[in-house]
Structure formats: structure tokens, C-alpha cells
Amino acid sequence: MDEATKISYTSDAQYVDTGTNHNISAAYEPAVSRQLSNLRSFPEGIKNCYTIKPEQANCNKYLIRAIFMYGNYDSKNEPPEFDLYLDGDRWGTIKFKDASANLFFEIIHVPATAYIHVCLVKTSSGTPFISALELRPLDNSIYEMKNGSLKLFTRIDVGSTKNDTVRYSNDIYDRIWSPATSVGFTNSRWKSIQAPFTSGILSSNVYKLPSLVMNTAAIPVNGSDSLDFYWEPEYPNQQIYVYMHFAAIEQLGDGELREFQIYFNDALWIRENINLSYLQPITIYSTASVTADSQLNFSIRRTKNSNRPPILNAIELYEVLQLHSPTDQSEVDAMVNIALTYGLKKNSQGDPCLPMGFSWHWVNCRYNGNNSPQVIGLNLSSSDLNGDIAPALSALKSLQYLDLSNNSLTGPVPEFLAQLPHLEILNLASNDLTGSVPKALSKKSSLSLSLDGNPNLCQSDTCEQTKKKKKNPSTVIIVASVVLSVVLLSAIAILWSLKRRRHTGRTLKSRNRRFTYSEVVTITNNFQKVIGKGGFGSVYLGHLEDGTQVAVKMLSRSSSQGSEQFWTEAELLTTVHHRNLASLIGYCDEGSNTALIYEYMANGNLQECLLDKNRAVLTWEQRLQIAIDAAQALEYLHNGCKPPIIHRDIKTANILLTEKLQAIVADFGLSRIFPDEDGSHITTAVVGTFGYLDPEYYITSRLTEKSDVYSFGVVLLELITGQPAIIKSEENTHIVEWVMPRIERGEISSIADPRLQGDFDSNSVCKMLETAIACVPSSPIQRLTTNQVLGELNECLEIYLASRGPLEIDEVNKSSSRIDYLCDPLDLESSMSGRVHKQGIAQSQQQHEGSDGVVDVGGALM
């Protein structure tokens, strides 16, 4: 129990599954309340979340407060910096002035689901932690919210003559009221007045402000003056909701009138004149937020009829925190059930899909503006799963791929898998499943189904017939003879196959169709049309029997290195499946003739679309979606695959585009699999492509996932600028070196691709530029992760989509003259400072072309 407030705290153990408990340094304990003397830190993982399920969460209003006291608990005397999230949205950044400081963040929130997730996300430095988490129900009739939640900006006891903070039990909602003097909310032209006595009547309106707050007020020293005050917003166009609380605490004489008006930036904020009755509290607020670029200026002015000065007892300002729609409750419940079923709880915290860029590592989600994200993929391959296939999977109606391979799952293949309407890929290989495959599942033509490696699973509809035959004694001799013949023939075939394949030593999974060389000749019309070339050989346009267009990649007979890359790609594509990765249809391996057959991409590759002046210009929205598609593929390789896969050759030429301009990442010949152990890097021969190669990887041969991030940063710069990775000139300038001086000179408008002719949103361009720059620092540790890149790009798209309404109305603004960037060039320059390797990039590239209560965090109170 807190000695001052008499609030009882409970342990946080039932709300979180990760973290370790610590006590702050003894040097700081005497100065803090008991609940701040211990904390829980989270050294493992990027996102750690508290999951709170109030008794009546949905559509009920809550005050949530998170409190942080570092107190040098780790003896490093280095206060960390990290982000605080509410459900899927960033609530704030935790940053301390020194080890003795304590911070609290407060928000008024209406949960959209039965859960409230408070998450700590590791960002730049140090280990995230939290000291206390408080949750209290509010009256639903107060603090009106139209969009988002209300994040506390400031709350002031304006007339306080003491330096004391007021909270529970004086405030039944436990709002914390700061005295004006402690927050600099004072004015030499004001004076404080106090009611002759404290009365409970002062708390009688629905907001129930404490009598201690309402029995003091500020009035101007000169009775004819106004009460003027202002705030500076933290950023341009910050949306603020204002609540002013008034009570007449002076008894007026006969003929006296206190009547006033409230102005915001010299315009009437509230149209009605405000009259006060003695000791009767009223709260004035606007149903719309206020915004300003520079200052929020308020003025309370008496009317012409008034002969008493204006008055103000207390004021609250809240910032609007726009919230993403959380993942649908049914899908969240299903995902929580799956995590509990398979013991994945520690790696499955908070919303499965949010924040964007921080989804559960085995989950892939689809984001659609402000609509709820959808779970479209689960990769639980090699996750030590036991027991039956979880029935909760049946609730994931948007699921497109499900990988449960290489586990120890038992029991039958459930019928409900066939009822998932969008399921395209189902991998149940290498388990201990039994029984028969449901007919509805095996006959689902749109489904790619992998069942190999389940020795007790019957994969055909002849299971029952086989059982009956085994019961007939008259067939034993015949069956035995047939079996013996089959065994002999199989042995001969295997020996012949091994001899024939000795040059490659490769085999592909049986579910990929095997083509004969004569079929390949027919498909390509005798290799009539070349649509691409690489180190391995040529790519030809082909048509299958049903008319489906395909791309046929033929291995050159003279390419020894190409052969290795060729089969690396083939084997990788039989194990990874994602809608933004190239899909292997089949292969040919007949003597010296080797080919891989892929889906055909009608729009070629991204490099062609950006550089070919004869092709239609990609719109800004198309570029954003292409970037997101490619980032989703990369995020899947890094976080969705076990072990992770590093592509090693991310470039615009390897990003293919479908007829609908969906981006497909291809060419996995150089890809490497990270070892199973949790290594920070692998040392390997340097390979890659001129212009995209990570300088750190080139210098040290140390390959990490951040090497792909660097390459992708170059791709993003190409999408923004329309320039190639290496800009041809006398000195062959690298795109990073081309962009940097323009940022430093503030020439942001010259960076965007001129072919767009100004038809884009400047804020979205700026955000994407910042994201690209954050991918290419010289030190890998300073680069974003693919999770973070994906989250930033989704925000870029949201910014753009939000801008389209007014832009479509005002066609005049579509000229290039409207591009007046709101982002600060200095901010971009600052974000690059010390991170982007300015010297030697091109040189190194050219050298290689190839409960409703309070939670005490940190343990139970004694």
C-alpha cells in the first residue's frame, strides 16, 4: 500500500510473462514512494507487453497511467531510452534527464476489444523497464472522444497557493493535479484567490474535480484585464482537446456580475457567454480539437456587462492519439489460444499484428489503412510443437498460408482446414500425423498441400481398399510378388538416378512438378523469346498446357558457379512460401538440361519500370505499395523463417512485378541460412551486386540481416528518386552520396523523381526518405530492422492515403509548385549524422560487382 495515497497495489506477475525484477539503488529509495522502489526490466526481445483484461473493457472509458523510475537499478548510471505503446500505437518515448528523475504517462482510453495491451519497445539504447502501471474506470459521460484516445498533455491546479500535488483520495478518479508554480503556469498579472471554506459542492458536477483544486482560482490583478495564457505545441498541427474548470468561489454583492468569454487565437472559442453561480462548478470544453503551428493562445475576457474579472480554477489539455483499429477480437482470441496450446506465450505478447513492424515473429499480417489488420500467415515450422493441430486455427478466416512442418504434431488432419476460404499453402510435412487426409482438403485445387514425412498418414482415398485387401489371404502371394518386384525396380531406379544425378547431388520436393526436357522445349516454343539473363543463363517466356504464362530459367551448361546458385534457389523455394516471394511451379533435370519454371511476371522487374522512359510512370501510391510488398517478403525471410534467411542480393532487378504491380522478391541463388544458434553474424565470402552491397559486409565479410536492410535502403532511394543505384557520370556517384548533399543543402524538392511531376504527398515522401536513410548507416547496429522498416512504410502509405481527399478536390495543387515539404531538412540531416558512411561507399561497391486497479511492477508489495 502507498503510504501517502493509501492505494493498494498488486503484483504484475499475472499480466506479463517476461522480464526480471529489480530494486532501485538504495541512494534513491528514500525520495520515492514504495511502488517506485522496484521495477521490471525486459532485457530480452524487442516488444514486451502487459495484457490487462478489465471486467468491462469494451466501450468503457479508462484512465491508464504508466510510471517509470530508473534509480540506477542496474548500477550503470545510464538511463535507457525506449518507446511506450498502447495496443498498436506509440504512446510516447521514455527518456530521462538523469537517474533520479521519474516520469509518468497518462491516457484516457476506450478499448475496442476485451484486452488492453501496454507494450514496451526497445529502440535506441538501454533496456526497457516499468515501475508501476495503473488502471481506473471513468464515468463514460466525461472526456468526450470522437477520434482516438486522449493522451495527457498537462493538468494544472491553476489557483494553487501551495506546491503540493493533488491526487487520490482527494480525486476519486486519481487524476494528478500539478500546482501552477511547479509547471511554470504563472503570470505576474494574475493573483490567486481562495474560497472562505472547502465545500463538497465544488465537486458536484460530473467531472468531480477535487474540492482542494476547485476552492482556489486565478484572477487578473487588474480587474479589467483578461486571463491570457499559451502553450507551444510539441510539433506542428498537434491536435489538443482543452477542458477548463470554473467555480465562483467569491460571493458577489448586489449588482455584481461575473460574465466572460473564451477566445482561442483571438477568435471566439465558445460562442456562449459564461455565467457562474456561487460554488457551482462547471466544465467548459469544445467538441473539436484545437491546432496551431506555433502557439495555442487562450484568453478569458470579461464581457461588456460584467463588472467582475474572469476566473479560472483548473485546466486540462489532452493530445489526440489516433489509434489503429486492433486485430479483430475473434482472431486475437484464436491467436492467444494457439500460443497457449503450443507453449508460445513468451514470444506472443500484445496484439498479434500491432504495432506495425512488431507483430509476433511467427505471424504475418495484412494492413489496410485504418481497418483492422488480418492474420494471413503463420510460420510455426520447427517450433517444437506437440499434440493435435489446434482447433483455434479454424477462426483465422483470412489465413493464406500455414506452415506447421518439422514438428511433432499428432492426431488426424482436421476437416476444418478445408473450410478456411483463403488458404493457399498448407505445409504439414515431417510430423507424426495419423489417419486419412480429408477428401475436401485433398481435392481443394487452389491449395498447395505438403504432407511428406508423416509415415502413419494415408494420403490417398485408397486407404480403406488397401486394408480390405490385406484381410484376403488369397491375395498374399500375389501382393508379396508385386511388392518384391516393386522393390527391385525401385532399387534399380534409385541407383540409376543417383548415377545420373552425380553431377548435382540435388533433389527437389515431390510436390513441385517435374518436367521433361522435351516439355520445356514445347513450353518455350523452342526457346523463342528471351525475357531475361543472369550469371546462370537465360530466362525464356513459356506457356503451359492450360495457357498459363511461365518464366523458364535455363541453367547454362558452362556455368559451374551458376549451378550452385541455381539449386540453392530451387531448394529454398520449395521450403519458403509467401505471397511476395517468387513461386516455383516445377523443374527439369534431365542429363545436362536443367531448368526452373516460375510464375510469369507481366510487368518485368522494378529496375525496368523505374528507368525505362518508354514505360508508364509508377505513381507514388504504387511505389509505396511496391516498397511495402518487398519489405513484407524481406521481413518474412528474416523473422518468419526458422532459421532466418538472408537474401544477399536485394536490388530493383530482383523485385518482379505482377500484372497488378504486386511486388515479388526473386532470385535466391546467393541466399544464406543463418545457423540455428542465436549468432549475431556469419562470416562468409562476399557476394552481391555493385551499388547494393553493404560496405560493412564488404570490409569484414561479416554477414547479418542488416546487410539486406542496407540493400533495401538503396532500393527505397531508387523508388523515391527514380535514379539508379549508381548514377552514371564521370565519377559514377552512388545514390546515397547523391542524396546526402541535397538533404544537407535543404534541397528536398530536388530529390523526388521528376517523372512524378509533383503528384505525391510531401509528408509521405519525407517519411519514406527518413526510412531509407535509416537503412544505410555504415554501422549495421544503427540500421532499422526489417520489422521497423515495414512499420515505417505502412505509416508512409497511411500518410499518403489520408492526404488524398483534399488533394482530389483541389486539382490546382497537383502542380509541382505545391510541393513545399513540411519535414525539416535539418531533421533528416541530423538523422544521417554519424550514421551514413559518406566516404568510400562507391569505391567499396565498385571493387565488388558480383484488473480495474493498480499494478506494482517488479513484484508483490509486502
Q: What is the mean pLDDT of residues 546-553?
A: 87
CATH number of 1-148: 3.40.640.10, 1.10.3720.10, 3.30.1490.190, 2.60.120.260? 2.60.120.260
Give, for 106, the enclosing helix (H) or strand (E). strand 102-109
Across all residues in the chain, what is the average pLDDT?
83
673 touches 589 (CB < 8 A): no
Distances (CA, A) of 89 to 124, 299, 322: 18, 33, 8
Residue with the bigger pLDDT between 30 and 850: it is: 30
User: For residue 681, what pLDDT is reported?
Assistant: 64
Q: What is the mean pLDDT of residues 299-319?
A: 95
Closest CA to 646 of 615, 603, 680: 680
Q: How confident is the model at residue 802 (pLDDT cuts 50, 70, 90)?
A: confident
Catalytic residue among 74, 403, 589, 649: 649
Cα 298 from chain centroid (whole Å): 38
Minimum mean pLDDT range among 109-123, 143-157, 358-372: 358-372
- Is 90 exceeded by the pLDDT of residue 170? yes
pLDDT, tens digit, 9 for 90 and up, residues 614-653: 899 999 999 999 999 999 999 989 888 878 889 989 999 9
Backbone φ and ψ for 178, nearest 5 degrees, come out as -95, 135
What is the residue extent of each domain of the chain? 1-148, 152-321, 340-350+361-469, 513-599, 606-675+686-842
Indicate the SS3 state at residue 99: coil
* Percentage of the residues of the chain whose pLDDT score is greater than 70: 83
Say if strands 10-11 and 584-590 run parallel, antiparallel, or are unpaired: unpaired
pLDDT, tens digit, 9 for 90 and up, residues 487-516: 444 443 433 343 333 334 444 444 567 888
65 touches 35 (CB < 8 A): no
Query: How many C-beta neighbours within 10 Å does residue 531 have?
Result: 14
Per-residue three-class SS string for 311-379 = CECEEEEEEEECCCCCCCHHHHHHHHHHHHHCCCHHHCCCCCCCCCCCCCCCEEEECCCCCCCEEEEEE
The rounded distance, in Å, linking the Cα atoms of 178 and 317 is 13
Minimum mean pLDDT range among 54-63, 407-416, 516-525: 54-63
How many helices and strands, by DSSP H and E, does the chain display?
16, 47
Tell me which long-range contacts 520-527 makes (C-beta under 8 A, separation of at least 24).
520/552, 520/554, 520/588, 520/593, 520/595, 520/597, 523/550, 523/552, 523/597, 524/552, 527/554
User: For residue 805, what pLDDT is reported?
Assistant: 54
Report, at the CATH architecture level, how domain 152-321 is classified: Sandwich (2.60)
Q: Cis ω on the peptide bond leading into residue 355 (within 30° of 0)?
A: yes
Report, at the CATH architecture level, how domain 513-599 is classified: 2-Layer Sandwich (3.30)
pLDDT, tens digit, 9 for 90 and up, residues 224-273: 899 999 988 888 888 899 999 999 999 888 889 999 999 999 999 988 89
Minimum mean pLDDT range among 218-232, 264-278, 362-376, 548-562: 548-562
Residue with the bigger pLDDT between 686 and 64: it is: 64
- Is 70 exceeded by the pLDDT of residue 820? no
pLDDT, tens digit, 9 for 90 and up, residues 420-464: 999 988 999 999 999 999 999 988 888 889 898 999 999 865 565
Contacts of 462 (CB under 8 A, 6+ apart): none
Is 612 a catalytic site residue?
no
Q: State which of 61-65, 111-115, 182-186 shows the largest mean pLDDT.
A: 61-65
Q: What is the residue-wise DSSP string for 26-76?
A: TTTGGGS-GGGSEEEE--SSSEEEEEE--TT-TT--EEEEEEEE-TTTTSS
Q: State which of 25-29, 236-240, 711-715 shows the largest mean pLDDT.
A: 711-715
User: For residue 123, what pLDDT is reported?
Assistant: 82
Say if strands 457-458 and 432-436 run parallel, antiparallel, or are unpaired: parallel
Sole residue written with cell 486565478: 218
Amino acid sitting at position 490: S
Backbone φ and ψ for 787, nearest 5 degrees, come out as -55, -45
User: For residue 827, what pLDDT is reported?
Assistant: 52
Q: Cis ω on the peptide bond leading into residue 643 (within 30° of 0)?
A: yes
Burial of 496 (0-12, 13-18, 19+ CB in 10 A): exposed
User: For residue 206, what pLDDT is reported?
Assistant: 94
- Is 60 exceeded by the pLDDT of residue 809? no
152-321 shares the fold of 1-148 = yes
Cell of 173: 478518479
Asked: is 606-675+686-842 a CATH 3.40.50.300 domain? The reply is no
The rounded distance, in Å, linking the Cα atoms of 353 and 367 is 9
Q: Cis ω on the peptide bond leading into residue 680 (within 30° of 0)?
A: no
In DSSP terms, which residues pair with 133 in a beta bridge?
Answer: 66, 855
User: For residue 494, what pLDDT is reported?
Assistant: 38
Name the E strands within 393-517: 401-403, 408-412, 425-427, 432-436, 448-450, 457-458, 513-514
Residue with the bigger pLDDT between 847 and 360: it is: 360
Report, at the CATH architecture level, how domain 340-350+361-469 is classified: Alpha-Beta Horseshoe (3.80)
User: For residue 414, what pLDDT is reported?
Assistant: 95
pLDDT, tens digit, 9 for 90 and up, residues 683-695: 777 788 888 999 8
User: For residue 679, what pLDDT is reported?
Assistant: 52
Q: What is the mean pLDDT of residues 324-349?
A: 88
pLDDT, tens digit, 9 for 90 and up, residues 73-103: 999 999 999 999 998 888 999 999 999 999 9
Contacts of 197 (CB under 8 A, 6+ apart): 215
Q: In what order do the strands lie in the sheet with 408-412?
A: 386-387, 408-412, 432-436, 457-458
User: For residue 473, what pLDDT is reported?
Assistant: 47
Cell of 596: 526452373
pLDDT, tens digit, 9 for 90 and up, residues 340-349: 999 987 778 8
pLDDT, tens digit, 9 for 90 and up, residues 730-760: 678 899 999 988 887 777 778 999 999 888 8
